[in-house]
Amino acid sequence: MKLDLRLLVFLLLSSSVYSQTVVKLQWQDHKKNKLSYLNTLIELEVGQQLDSTLLERDMIRLRREPGIAHAYYQVYEQDNGVRVVYGLQENWTIIPYVNFYTTNDDEFAYRLGVTEFNLLGRGIAAGVFYQKDIFDSYGINIRAPILFSKHLGLAIGYQDFTTREPVFLSNGVADYKYNNTSYELSLLYQINLRHRVAVGYSFFNEDYEYLRGATQNGIPQDLDVDKSLVKGIYEYNGLDNYYQYISGFRSIFNAQYVISTDSALPDFIIARNDFLYFTRVGEKGNWANRLRLGLASNDDSPFAPFAVDNNLNIRGVGNTIDRGTGAIVLNTEYRHTAWERDWFVLQTNVFVDAGSWRNPGGRFSDFGSRQNIRVYPGLGLRFIHKQIFNTVFRIDYGVGVTQDSTQGFVFGIGQYF
């Protein structure tokens, strides 16, 4: 009986607080984030009735910001209403990175870059990179989601990217020097907390220059093609972040129409959807899943758009070992916080990556072909800094269990998905 009475008193007190008017809104510990920018991110306004659901939505929105590691709120009663305090733990957001690796011929390669994810304290991401991988590459990009208004932003980018690209022919593999020079502009629109859309246009040039390997009649050894790309993106984001833990569902749909000036690389349509689901497991576990479905125009071309690659979809499979005009990929992993002290987290990781591809010019039955199916279980480690944005250094080792499998390490910055 006493317990029931206490519960009743608590509910009555809570009801009295959340039925009052917000007379003052304060921010604390916002050294880097501009106050005017923070106010554009939230829904709460002075003069509103206090709403716990609205407060929680604001916390989710703030925790998604690159410049914010964690956000919380406090409510204080006053004579004429309530005072709400939003508190922040801010991230360090100027992130340099250096990657070193070797190519198939043991050529030394590296990539240098730096990104400021919270430029001017207004959530603007600006980054540059330089890469030396036999050939020189560089690029710059700027993304300002809240530039013109609370809902409308802009992204621009330029890159001059050159790699040695394998092209898979019927009688073997050819190596091409591939260069992509592109200019891109996108409009970003946030409908509300969960829904966003973007439309973009890109003009780019693709240059293929034959280096070595197999040749085939009808496959040119040199191509220099101007292209245009129109894209649309729709994102549903129902994720809730709490430091290294994530829960909820997210869906990202991306559709592109590519217009070419050369019939050797014809026009094509490509669309893919990433479905992501995360759930907490106990106090220290996180189960993460990504299902990627993709289809493109089914041209019988060795330059098909979907690649089978270590860094994109299957850990341990190798660097661009095959291509296709359709893809089904499932990545599932269990992340466990093995050690945590203040700003540092060590996570262990157990994963299974599985996928299949439709051959260029092939049929949907290709997805069930044994030679197209790849399954790679593996183990990994994550070294995480909790107060530097996206500072997750990952090491994964995947081992194939299907036909003609390989195995290997995959290194990277940020979670794999």
Mean pLDDT of 300-319: 86
Count CA atoms within 13 Å of residue 229 on its CB side.
21
Q: In whole numbers, what is the pLDDT of the chain averaged over residues? A: 91
pLDDT of 58 higher than 90: yes
| Alpha carbon distance 112, 121 (integer Å) | 24
DSSP string, 259-286: EES-TTS--EEEEEEEEEEEEEETTTEE
Both tokens of 385, joined, read 């800094």
pLDDT of 301: 81
- Tens of pLDDT, residue by residue over 351-372, are 999 999 999 999 999 999 999 9
Q: Identify the band that residue 323 occupies on the pLDDT scale cut at 50, 70 and 90.
A: confident
- Tens of pLDDT, residue by residue over 241-281, are 999 999 999 999 999 999 999 887 889 999 999 999 999 99
Mean pLDDT of 157-183: 91
- Tell which wins on pLDDT, 227 or 12: 227
Share of the chain above pLDDT 70, in %: 93
Q: Return the beta strands (E) in 29-134 as ranges.
A: 68-78, 81-90, 94-102, 108-119, 124-133
Pick from 146-150, 168-172, 181-185: least confident: 168-172
All structural domains of the chain, each given as residue ranges with its CATH number in brackets, are 2-90 (3.10.20.310), 238-413 (2.40.160.50)
Both tokens of 360, joined, read 């260029």
| Alpha carbon distance 290, 313 (integer Å) | 10
Q: Identify the band that residue 204 occupies on the pLDDT scale cut at 50, 70 and 90.
A: very high
Mean pLDDT of 216-223: 87
Q: Identify the band that residue 98 occupies on the pLDDT scale cut at 50, 70 and 90.
A: confident
pLDDT of 134: 86
| Alpha carbon distance 290, 278 (integer Å) | 9
Helices (H), 114-247: none
Least Cα distance to 122 among 193, 65, 190 occurs for 65
Mean pLDDT of 183-195: 97
pLDDT of 347 higher than 90: yes
pLDDT of 11 higher than 80: no
Asked if 162 and 137 touch (Cβ cutoff 8 Å), the reply is yes
pLDDT of 242: 92
Least Cα distance to 398 among 411, 389, 407 occurs for 407
Q: Identify the band that residue 127 occupies on the pLDDT scale cut at 50, 70 and 90.
A: very high
Count CA atoms within 13 Å of residue 126 on its CB side.
6
pLDDT of 282 higher than 60: yes
pLDDT of 10: 47
Give the dihedral sign, CA 51/57/61/63.
Answer: positive
Mean pLDDT of 134-145: 96
Scan for tokens 């599985």, then name that residue. 354
Long-range contacts of 41-50 (CB under 8 A, 24+ apart): 41/65, 41/123, 41/146, 42/86, 44/84, 46/22, 47/21, 47/22, 48/21, 48/22, 49/19, 49/20, 49/21, 49/22, 50/17, 50/18, 50/19, 50/20, 50/21, 50/22, 50/75, 50/82, 50/84
Mean pLDDT of 212-225: 89
**CA 217 centroid distance within chain:** 39
DSSP string, 365-403: GGGG-TTT-EEEEEEEEEEEETTBTT-EEEEEEEE--ST
Burial group, residue 175, by CB count within 10 angstroms (0-12, 13-18, 19+): middle
249 three-state secondary structure: strand
- Looking at residue 408, its amino acid is G
Q: What is the largest CA-CA distance in the chain?
A: 88
